[in-house]
Chain A
């Protein structure tokens, strides 16, 4: 089974520029997550989708970050305009999203996109 795919793997931009990241989850996974992992810290959940609907975006800086999952499969995370403090690894994860028999389905993570804002 193919894993979670992300692109690009690396991106360097200047502050105030825009950037977009793409994620293709594992086939059949209804739930998709975007995380921001700043160097030396744990991943922070930015947004969680269930199919094409948003379940949780309470930690997404909505003045500059946006995300969409229009067809309930691929997702795009955008930053516009970027700030220096946005330098981080952006992780995408997916899961079936169902509580099967009370057991939470596991999240599978992609390799991440490493963003450097200069």
Chain B
């Protein structure tokens, strides 16, 4: 079975500062890992996904994440936060057939001007 844990339900950063959102996974099989963003009153949008290719994955809007098997982590980063990055971010995991899809509880990102 798969699961993800997102550390920190709320993260605040200053505009221009580094964004780091943490995600740790648990999986009995090689996982596929995802980061989604959800803006208020909107559906989820895929930021990036890891599917056993390169361990450093680049996504949209300047975000990237690194798959670290030894740490069972898939943290999301962005070098410089922008006001428009304020949203809810979800880490998710599936097995390598795309089934057993589980989301974390989410991290709310606030960007301070």
**Interfacial residues, chain A to chain B (CB-CB below 8 A):** 4, 31, 33, 35, 40-45, 48, 55-56, 91, 93, 95, 97, 99, 102-112
Q: How far is the CB of B33 from chain A (nearest CB, A)?
A: 10
Q: How far is the CB of A60 from chain B (nearest CB, A)?
A: 14
9 further contact pairs, Cβ within 8 A, besides A43-B103, A106-B46, A112-B43: A31-B98, A41-B106, A42-B104, A43-B44, A44-B103, A56-B100, A104-B51, A109-B36, A109-B43
Across the interface, do A48 and B104 meet the contact criterion of CB distance under 8 Å? no
Some 16 contacts from A to B, beta carbons below 8 A apart, are A40-B105, A41-B106, A45-B101, A45-B102, A55-B99, A56-B99, A93-B44, A97-B98, A103-B53, A104-B94, A105-B98, A110-B43, A111-B41, A111-B42, A111-B43, A112-B43
Known contacts: A105-B98, A106-B46, A112-B43. The answer to whether A42 contacts B103 by CB under 8 A is yes
Q: Which of B83-108 contact A (CB under 8 A)?
A: 90, 92, 94, 96-106
Across the interface, do A42 and B105 meet the contact criterion of CB distance under 8 Å? yes
Residues of B within 8 A of A105 (CB): 98
Known contacts: A42-B90, A104-B94. The answer to whether A4 contacts B49 by CB under 8 A is no
In this assembly, does B45 line the interface, its C-beta being within 8 Å of a C-beta of chain A? yes
Residues of B within 8 A of A31 (CB): 98
Residues of B within 8 A of A4 (CB): 43
| Distance, CA A99 to CA B41, complexed state (A) | 31
| Distance, CA A83 to CA B27, complexed state (A) | 33
Residues of A within 8 A of B49 (CB): 104, 106
In this assembly, does B14 line the interface, its C-beta being within 8 Å of a C-beta of chain A? no
The A interface, classified by DSSP as helix, strand, loop or mixed, is strand
Across the interface, do A102 and B104 meet the contact criterion of CB distance under 8 Å? no
Q: How far is the CB of B100 from chain A (nearest CB, A)?
A: 7
In this assembly, does B55 line the interface, its C-beta being within 8 Å of a C-beta of chain A? no
Across the interface, do A109 and B100 meet the contact criterion of CB distance under 8 Å? no
| Distance, CA A43 to CA B6, complexed state (A) | 13
In this assembly, does B32 line the interface, its C-beta being within 8 Å of a C-beta of chain A? yes
| Distance, CA A106 to CA B36, complexed state (A) | 11
Across the interface, do A99 and B98 meet the contact criterion of CB distance under 8 Å? yes
